[in-house]
């Protein structure tokens, strides 16, 4: 069997995780969807080489975030998944995560359409996840994922941690969202001062702060 | 429902207010709750110019969506009108004034810090007359943080613009922002006739200050609506208050209640599938299957025919809202 979404057909799904048991678990749900799991046992090469090698092994990808464990990889799953989706190769990130992980992932969330937790990983969410990846690759966003240019106000800065907090008044004026300084283009970093306002593209339909991403930063 | 030429849409924006009026000559937006719903709706209807934005008052659930409309490069705005709120002092209020000031400096729009009774008729774009029933100049002049003639405190809510829409002379809807008893008394003391068949209930059906029962009785007498809309969000179960619904039904027999989203009061679980009764336009809760009435639409070719259809909506409530407040 295969899964056809728009003009794309998915037969084989590459499963990337450093843990063999987890890979197997993820594979079962892929089989339940009528697809063929292909297992990446690592260690992985550089990101560029991995992209090239993996894309020839399957039609889509499911990947864990924590790949650096035991030298399985030199990069984490968010980089891999975002890179694949940039290339319009459907890729899902499935992982447990902390608040810090979310901040790290935020700069790549524009190209991580679907972030699943293991508890919500099942054939239906996999199918919906791949559908979303393919639609976004074609420029069609769900309302919760669509980027809109809006005002962003800097709330506070944690120089030591290398991050700052922003408020997006048009989303929720009471919620501070943590962003890494490195996520802002170099020429704009001098503008990252408390109370400073900038413009950025933000998915204003997001339901929760962990879903939010920022791109296309602009000084005012 | 196909996209008609002229319509009033009361958008499901979650917890917040927003209405879009499209008339023969232009588009008017009344309040802009936070999130992307307004932009989604405008994009869906290929609306690239909003002639006027009227902001009832300075609360975030009524103005939060203006920032992205101003920042949007897909929609131009002609004019924005709101009442000043010196008591607000919130960063959000400052954000809005900042963006409006910037846009006006770039000569992209006109920005007026006044929206009072005398402004009726200034914003009309065709067949719909836009009446500003309140606040009076006196109340707006006193401003939030002050008191009215009876010594009662004036808040942002007291200063809410109360807007009535009349199609070819006949009232079709009343959008009173979050008007409270003080604002309502200001309106009624001037002897204004303010009836309308559809009312977007102030403050999302929460407490509006003062005597709750008396306030609802006054609302029912003054506006005499046959349909009452609550702009509410699933996940915010305090709105609308059960007593508000109960008192409305005591005061107006056969009143139709329409909540934009299905609150936990009415159903502990969301429907298993996307409901079929909703108007075929953007609604914030559609993706998460959180809609009850969703976005509510009145078309000007048949203003008595409100979407979602009453019978279909009732069927949905009967099957999906076992503890529905409106059952």
| Chain A residues with CB-CB distance to B98 below 8 A | 151, 197
Pair B130, B120: CB distance under 8 Å: yes
Q: Are B72 and A148 in contact (CB < 8 Å)?
A: yes
Nearest Cα of chain A lies from the Cα of B98 at a distance, in angstroms, of: 9
Domain for residue B326, yes or no? no
Domain for residue B129, yes or no? yes
**Chain A contact present for B98, CB below 8 A:** yes
B108: containing domain: 7-320
Biggest CA–CA distance in chain B, Å, is: 53
Share of chain A above pLDDT 70, in %: 100
Q: What CATH number is attached to the domain comprising B149?
A: 3.60.15.10
In this prediction, residue B86 carries a pLDDT of: 66
Q: Is the pLDDT of residue B92 over 90?
A: no
Nearest Cα of chain A lies from the Cα of B35 at a distance, in angstroms, of: 5
Domain for residue B211, yes or no? yes
Summarize pLDDT for B98-109 with one digit per residue, the tens.
899 999 999 999
Q: By C-alpha distance, which of A147, A208, A219, A150 is closest to A177?
A: A208
The number of domains in chain B is 1
Q: Are B67 and A151 in contact (CB < 8 Å)?
A: yes
Mean pLDDT of the region B9-24: 97
Q: Is the pLDDT of residue B190 over 90?
A: no
Banded pLDDT at B88 (limits 50, 70, 90): low
CB-nearest partner of A205 from B35, B60, B92:
B35
Cα torsion at A74, A78, A84, A88 (round to 10°)? -170
Q: Are A167 and B91 in contact (CB < 8 Å)?
A: yes
Helix (H) or strand (E) holding A125: helix A123-137
Domains in chain A (CATH in brackets) are 3-137 (3.40.50.2300), 148-218 (2.40.50.140)
In this prediction, residue B2 carries a pLDDT of: 44
Between these two residues, B206 and B42, which has the higher pLDDT value? B42
Mean pLDDT of the region B125-132: 97
Per-residue tokens: A20: 């063999």
Domain for residue B181, yes or no? yes
Side-chain-side CA neighbours of residue A47 (13 Å): 13
Q: Is the pLDDT of residue B4 over 80?
A: no
| Chain B residues with CB-CB distance to A170 below 8 A | 34-35, 64-68
Domain for residue B295, yes or no? yes
Helix (H) or strand (E) holding A40: strand A36-40
Q: Is the pLDDT of residue B1 over 80?
A: no
How far the first Cα of chain A sits from its last, in Å, is 52
Domain for residue B137, yes or no? yes
**Chain B contact present for A215, CB below 8 A:** no
Q: Is the pLDDT of residue B32 over 50?
A: yes
Nearest Cα of chain A lies from the Cα of B34 at a distance, in angstroms, of: 5
Alpha-carbon span A203 to A214, nearest angstrom: 8
In this prediction, residue B209 carries a pLDDT of: 72
Summarize pLDDT for A23-57 with one digit per residue, the tens.
999 999 999 999 999 999 988 889 999 999 999 99
CB-nearest partner of A172 from B34, B37, B72:
B34
Residue B172 phi/psi, 5-degree rounding, is: -120, -30
Banded pLDDT at B267 (limits 50, 70, 90): very high
Domain for residue B139, yes or no? yes
Summarize pLDDT for B48-65 with one digit per residue, the tens.
999 999 999 989 999 999
Domain for residue B131, yes or no? yes
Mean pLDDT of the region B184-195: 92
| Chain B residues with CB-CB distance to A220 below 8 A | 102
Summarize pLDDT for A106-138 with one digit per residue, the tens.
999 999 999 999 999 999 999 999 999 999 999
Alpha-carbon span B6 to B302, nearest angstrom: 10
Q: How far is C-alpha A26 from the geometric centre of its chain's CA atoms? A: 18
Summarize pLDDT for A137-177 with one digit per residue, the tens.
999 999 999 999 999 999 999 988 899 999 999 999 999 99
Nearest Cα of chain B lies from the Cα of A116 at a distance, in angstroms, of: 16
In this prediction, residue B69 carries a pLDDT of: 95
Q: By C-alpha distance, which of A89, A86, A90, A106 is closest to A98?
A: A106
Q: B107-113 contacts: CB < 8 A, separation 24 or more?
A: B108/B76, B108/B77, B109/B76, B109/B77, B109/B78, B109/B79, B109/B80, B110/B78, B110/B79, B110/B80, B111/B79, B111/B80, B112/B79, B112/B80, B112/B81, B112/B82, B113/B82, B113/B83, B113/B84
Summarize pLDDT for B236-253 with one digit per residue, the tens.
878 999 999 999 999 999
Residues of chain B numbered 272-311 and touching chain A (CB < 8 Å): 282, 284, 287-288
* Interface predicted TM-score (ipTM) over 0.95: no
């Amino acid at each position: 069997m295969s899964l056809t979404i728009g003009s794309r057909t998915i037969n084989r799904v590459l499963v990337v995780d450093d843990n063999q048991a987890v890979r197997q678990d993820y594979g079962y749900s892929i089989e339940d969807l009528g697809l063929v799991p292909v297992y990446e046992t690592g260690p992985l090469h550089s990101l560029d080489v991995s992209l090239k090698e993996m894309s020839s092994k399957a039609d889509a990808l499911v990947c864990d975030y924590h790949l650096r464990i035991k030298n399985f990889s030199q990069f984490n799953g968010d980089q891999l998944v975002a890179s694949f989706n940039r290339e319009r190769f459907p890729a899902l990130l499935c992982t447990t995560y902390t608040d810090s992980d979310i901040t790290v992932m935020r700069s790549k969330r524009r190209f991580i359409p679907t972030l699943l937790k293991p508890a919500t990983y099942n054939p239906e969410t996999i199918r919906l996840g791949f559908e979303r990846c393919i639609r976004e690759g074609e420029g069609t966003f769900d309302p919760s994922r669509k980027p809109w240019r809006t005002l962003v106000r800097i709330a506070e800065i944690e120089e030591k941690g290398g991050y700052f907090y922003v408020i997006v008044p048009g989303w929720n004026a009471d919620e501070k969202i943590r962003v890494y300084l490195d996520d802002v283009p170099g020429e704009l970093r001098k503008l990252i001062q408390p109370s400073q306002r900038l413009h950025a593209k933000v998915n204003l339909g997001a339901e929760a702060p962990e879903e939010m991403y920022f791109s296309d930063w602009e000084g005012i | 429902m196909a996209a008609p030429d002229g319509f009033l849409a009361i958008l499901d924006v979650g917890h917040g207010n927003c209405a879009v009026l499209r008339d023969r000559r232009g588009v008017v937006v009344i309040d802009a709750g936070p999130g992307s719903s307004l932009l989604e709706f405008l994009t869906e209807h290929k609306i690239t110019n909003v002639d006027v934005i009227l902001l009832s008052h300075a609360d975030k659930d009524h103005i939060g969506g203006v920032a992205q409309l101003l920042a949007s490069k897909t929609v131009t705005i002609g004019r924005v009108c709101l009442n000043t709120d010196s008591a607000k002092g919130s960063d959000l209020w400052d954000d809005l004034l900042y963006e409006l000031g910037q846009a006006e400096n770039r000569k992209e729009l006109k920005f007026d810090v006044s929206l009072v009774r005398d402004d009726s008729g200034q914003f009309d774009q065709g067949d719909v007359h836009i009446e500003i029933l309140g606040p009076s100049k006196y109340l707006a002049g006193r401003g939030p943080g002050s008191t009215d003639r009876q010594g009662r405190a004036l808040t942002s809510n007291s200063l809410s613009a109360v807007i009535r829409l009349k199609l070819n002379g006949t009232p079709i809807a009343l959008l009173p922002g979050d008007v409270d008893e003080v604002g309502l008394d200001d309106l009624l003391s001037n002897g204004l006739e303010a009836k309308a068949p559809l009312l977007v209930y102030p403050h999302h059906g929460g407490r509006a200050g003062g005597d709750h029962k008396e306030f609802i009785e006054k609302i029912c007498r003054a506006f005499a609506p046959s349909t009452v809309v609550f702009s509410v969000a699933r996940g915010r179960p305090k709105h609308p208050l059960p007593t508000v619904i109960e008192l409305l039904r005591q005061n107006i027999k056969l009143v139709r209640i329409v909540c934009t989203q299905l609150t936990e009061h009415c159903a502990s679980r969301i429907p298993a599938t996307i409901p079929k009764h909703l108007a075929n336009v953007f609604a914030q809760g559609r993706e998460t299957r959180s809609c009850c009435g969703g976005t509510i639409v009145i078309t000007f070719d048949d203003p008595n025919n409100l979407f979602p259809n009453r019978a279909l909506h009732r069927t949905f409530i009967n099957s999906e809202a076992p503890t529905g407040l409106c059952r």
